[in-house]
Amino acid sequence: MSDFARAPLTAILGPTNTGKTYLAVERMAAHSSGMIGFPLRLLAREVYDRVVRMKGANRVALLTGEEKIVPKDARWFLCTAESMPVSRAASGTGGPMERDFAFVGLDEAQLGADPERGHVFTDRMLHARGREETMILGSETLAPMVRGLLPKAEIIGRPRFSTLSYAGPSKLSRLPPRSAIVAFSAEQVYAVAEMLRRMRGGAAVVMGALSPRTRNAQVAMYQAGEVDYLVATDAVGMGLNMDVTHVAFAGLAKFDGHRRRRLTPAEMAQIAGRAGRHQKDGTFGVLTLDGDNSAEFRPEEIEAIEEHRFAPLDHLYWREGDPDFRSLEALIRSLERKPDRPGLRAAPEAVDLAVLKRLASDPEVVARAKGGDAVRRLWAACGLPDFRKTGADHHARLVARLYLHLTEGEGRIPAAWYASQLTQLDNVQGDIDTLADRLAGVRTWAYIAHRSDWLAEPEAMAERARQVEEKLSDALHERLTQRFVDRRTSVLLRDIGRKGAGEFPVIVDEQGEVTVGSFAIGRMEGFAFEVDPSARHADRKMLLATAERRLGGEYEKRAAALVADTDEHFTLRTEAEKPVAILWRGHEVARLGPGKNLLSPRVLIDRKLDRLSERGRGAIVERLNLWVRHQVERSLATLRRAGQAAQDPASPPAVRSILALLVDEGGIVAREAVAKALASVEREQRKLITRLGVRIGALDLFMPDVLKPEARRWRTALKAAAAGAAMPLLPAEATVVLPCPADAERALLQRLGFRALGPQMLRVDMAERLARHAHEARSAADRPVVDQALATSLGLQPQAVARLMRDLGFRPAAEEGAWVWRGPNRPRRREGGPADPSHAFAALAGLRRGG
């Protein structure tokens, strides 16, 4: 039996303020060497500073993704969980550790249930072992999982040192000194801190995005009493120890990366537990203004927090910690492997795996990722955290570039390129958000510098990154202090603050009005936010940026409403000279573009919807496609059936060719365009065509249904979408006769169902009525072939009537106004007449007989 297997394994479980972390530090210090993994870089740094004071800087190491301090004689290591020098072979269950530690500890192990990072904590809990002692720290909810996964572990409960009690809601003006206000976004933190600056002289700010240097400077202000209030994100709940007597929640919901949801009682307790340290009792409550108690604790939540009773965890997330590097495909398979132990669930796809999958479709990357070493190097590159939160697609491009550098030449990132990236970030100008974003960028390059095999001179580059980070950190601390302590600086949402409406959360009413507290800052119009027109020009950009970032949940809510809405709330915009668009409740949400055929256009959702999640956008596209299909079926059913028949192999080839051209032209085609194919169609086969709603006229083949106003509008819109063009101007719905325009407009009118007759254009169904009359009158000597009453009522000019009669195969008689049939042997006219006029009347005769 190995030393690792014989070493004691202890789980210290309990609520906050039980001294678990201090106990682990003391236990580690009692051993000849040790390591503790923490959930946050800030917390690892805090404990590192404490251990340095105990053991000396030359014997203590700090390991995080972007910070690495490892003295030659280091024996005690403080790390983030991801940076612990542990592998499956270094687990104590399968071989020696990368470094042999007498003591190993893992803090906040209940984070194994976190969808994003849980698999890391689960892996460390299962495999990270000390030679002499291992200690797992976490909440009491972890107990069932420890019993199930680590049956030999001794579980020791730790009671809270002090009492935590509910103090009810509090206005900002009534908050007691030494209070921490916890918010759930940077914008919320800024707004609360600004109100405290105006009302109480200032506040320190702590957020997970701050560097340790900035965070320490802000906390030092608070601890020294320069300010009595601390405004923080929920990162404050992860063991950061400060002198706080009361915790006020600015809200009870947060966006967890997928959706906006209410905090669980355990999460509430983790944050509220920062109040009261050691033997000093603490209180918690919610922050309100003007008696607004909308964000309030429920009785059962209060009881659970005060009594420290929470639902136990029933699963932890797991991912293979010793993946297969034989090939890229084997690596992905192993990382997607399902756990085979009860209580473990496969972890959701993390950013590193998402990036790996994207790069697996990059031919250049695939070509280089051959062999175990190359695949292992690729996976290491994919492990670069997305510090700037740009998303997997954007982050994958950076990782791909890094990997290509790492697999060419000497296998190192070019020093000049690396230095240029840092130089771009070495700029202390800008506001808080700008500096925070640059710091996130520096974290990326600091992480790279601490990969000793990625740079030719990693120590020099790491020092350069550290210098830039310190410079930006000092500038950020200065901006925070100026903004939230110094009265000389303008601040975020100052108009709202002056009107006393800085409360949260943001509310959107049924009319789309967006309010912060009781003050309107703008309006949501569909998926677009419009700043309140009464806002000062200097504040418009700040209000817009704040609202857009804070309205993520509202966008998803509206997307769900759109998907669930009925068809009558969607309309097709067909205004002349504008792109064809789909409107939802009057707001443009998509446009139509070229699709696989005329009746199946592509739905192109509006760029305003880019703020939605991929799932939300996909659901909207699916819903809009369904609506378009419904409308096409309703307005152009005959055209859709003809299209299906044109693709039916059972239909005769000649019939299919006619129908295909007819559908492509939107349901109307000149007879001469299909004369050859029509001549080869037998009488019974013609019935197949007419049964589909097609009228075989003397001059045109057309579908009467497509001449109806709504059908005409839809097929014109679809034709414009297929051409990627704007919607043309349509004639009035009841129009039958039009002046004949120039060539370009004439082509449009022909597609709409008008036939050119010299100076005028006549709708094809009316031309067909005149043609039928002429055919019927030809056999009656006492009837004129021209239906003069109909022609007059239509407003046809004599020249237009004459052109129509010539196209039908008649010629003027000697008697004025009379026409005679030219007969089947007359030569074909060159100006628009049919190939053989007798065919036109043969067709009319066939129609009369039902053919």
Buried b (16+ CB within 10 A) or exposed e, 59-69: bbbbbbbbbbb
For 66, the token pair is: 């972007």
- Cβ proximity of 13 and 142 under 8 Å: yes
Measured distance CA(500)–CA(191) in Å, rounded:
11
Length of the chain: 851
**Phi, psi torsion values for 597, nearest 5 degrees:** -160, 180
The set of residues, in sequence order, having a beta carbon less than 8 Å from that of 295 and lying 6+ positions away, is: 249, 250, 251, 252, 253, 286, 287, 288, 504, 505
Angle at 142 between CA 141 and CA 145, to 5 degrees: 130
CA distances, 174 to each of 169, 195, 201, 270, 807 (Å): 10, 13, 14, 24, 92
Let me know if 828 is exposed, middle or buried by CB neighbors in 10 A (0-12, 13-18, 19+).
exposed
Let me know if 479 is exposed, middle or buried by CB neighbors in 10 A (0-12, 13-18, 19+).
buried
Provide DSSP, 695-756.
Answer: EE-SSEEE-GGGGSHHHHHHHHHHHHHHTT-PPPPPPPTT--EEE---HHHHHHHHHHTEEE
Measured distance CA(254)–CA(208) in Å, rounded:
15
**How many Cβ atoms are within 10 Å of 742's Cβ, its own excluded?**
7
pLDDT score of 16: 73
Closest to 477 (Cα-Cα) out of 247, 216, 735, 282: 216
Q: What is the Cα Rg of the chain in Å?
A: 38
Give the SS3 label for residue 669: strand
pLDDT tens readout for residues 645-660: 888 888 888 888 899 8
Let me know if 72 is exposed, middle or buried by CB neighbors in 10 A (0-12, 13-18, 19+).
exposed
pLDDT tens readout for residues 511-565: 888 876 556 678 888 888 888 777 656 557 666 766 766 777 888 889 999 999 9
pLDDT score of 826: 37
- Which residue type sits at 200? R
**Phi, psi torsion values for 782, nearest 5 degrees:** -95, 5
pLDDT score of 829: 37
Measured distance CA(743)–CA(757) in Å, rounded:
13
Flag residues of the chain having pLDDT under 50. Answer: 1-2, 88-97, 291-292, 486-504, 824-851
- Cβ proximity of 361 and 392 under 8 Å: no
- Which residue type sits at 427? N
The pTM of this model reads 0.57
Measured distance CA(420)–CA(423) in Å, rounded:
5
> Which parts of 450-589 fold into alpha helices (H)?
458-484, 494-498, 537-550, 552-564
**How many Cβ atoms are within 10 Å of 345's Cβ, its own excluded?**
17
Helix crossing, 458-484 with 212-223: angle to 10°? Answer: 40
> Which parts of 485-585 fold into alpha helices (H)?
494-498, 537-550, 552-564
Measured distance CA(440)–CA(186) in Å, rounded:
14
Let me know if 693 is exposed, middle or buried by CB neighbors in 10 A (0-12, 13-18, 19+).
middle
Q: How many Å separate Cα 483 from the centre of its chain?
A: 32
